[in-house]
């Protein structure tokens, strides 16, 4: 079985902090490749590849989110030997939450920070319409609605045939997810949202109950994929949060 990340052996030295990044529905780890060049030298971005895409394309895409989190926790254990944080966008945010608990359950320690981007709180998901597999037309309609797919993909049947099975499985990951209340994490939870996204602010604020530490919600101007237009400010915020001691007070901020 292929590892979710590049093997630890061969790295010159452990970084001061690792940021394990989980992709959104239909995406591969490559969406975070640019980040490696854009963050401070003390921070190592570690894109996490999920089964069924990228270099794990030969594997069957998973459809059970908590089982996938358990699988990733075993694979990523070497990456958590030093300070680490988790970042996930959309589906990746929900997966990061379950992964944090799976890692803690293995005695591997919690992340320094859990970052959830464009992801409703686990207790406030509204994904039941995806509990059964969507046909191709339904998947394409959802891809267009979320505005996360380049328009040329829709006109290329070969690309669609590659993308649809992974996307179908990813929608099932969300649609079949059953929230279980865990003891709150001790690490801060930092949530980011888009002002034009259809995820209501109260569903983002509901992440606060999942931590005993600090909670913050920061809104960026944009839709569900605001991280593309605001890549540099978002990375600056990640580095800022990871470079400061955790406090106890939270708040809501807006970023143009």
**Residues with catalytic annotation?**
90
Lookup: tokens for 213: 């530490």
Number of Cβ atoms within 10 Å of the Cβ of 90: 27
Query: Residue 6: what are its φ and ψ, rounded to 5°?
Result: -65, 135
CA distance 187 to 169: 30
Q: Which residue has the tokens 């590849």?
A: 49
DSSP-derived secondary structure letter, 132: S
Lookup: tokens for 8: 């630890």
Sheet holding 251-255, edge to edge: 43-47, 17-22, 84-89, 114-117, 189-194, 215-220, 251-255
């Amino acid at each position: 079985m292929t590892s979710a990340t590049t093997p630890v052996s061969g790295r010159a030295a452990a970084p001061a902090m690792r940021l394990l990044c989980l992709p959104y529905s239909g995406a591969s780890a490559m969406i975070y490749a640019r980040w490696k060049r854009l963050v401070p030298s003390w921070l190592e971005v570690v894109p996490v590849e999920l089964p069924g895409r990228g270099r794990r394309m030969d594997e069957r895409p998973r459809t059970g989110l908590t089982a996938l989190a358990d699988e990733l926790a075993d694979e990523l254990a070497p990456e958590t030997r030093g300070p680490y944080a988790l970042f996930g966008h959309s589906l990746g945010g929900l997966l990061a939450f379950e992964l944090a608990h799976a890692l803690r359950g293995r005695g591997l320690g919690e992340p320094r920070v859990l970052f959830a981007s464009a992801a409703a709180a686990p207790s406030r998901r509204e994904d039941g319409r995806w509990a059964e597999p969507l046909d191709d037309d339904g998947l394409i309609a959802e891809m267009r609605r979320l505005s996360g797919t380049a328009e040329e993909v829709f006109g290329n049947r070969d690309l669609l045939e590659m993308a649809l099975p992974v996307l179908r499985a990813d929608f099932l990951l969300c649609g079949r997810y059953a929230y279980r209340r865990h003891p709150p994490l001790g690490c801060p939870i930092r949530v980011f949202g888009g002002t034009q996204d259809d995820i209501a602010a109260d569903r983002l604020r509901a992440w606060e109950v999942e931590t005993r530490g600090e909670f913050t919600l920061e809104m960026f101007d944009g839709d569900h994929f605001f991280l593309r237009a605001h890549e540099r400010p978002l990375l600056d915020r990640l580095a800022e949060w990871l470079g400061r001691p955790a406090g106890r007070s939270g708040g809501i901020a807006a970023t143009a």
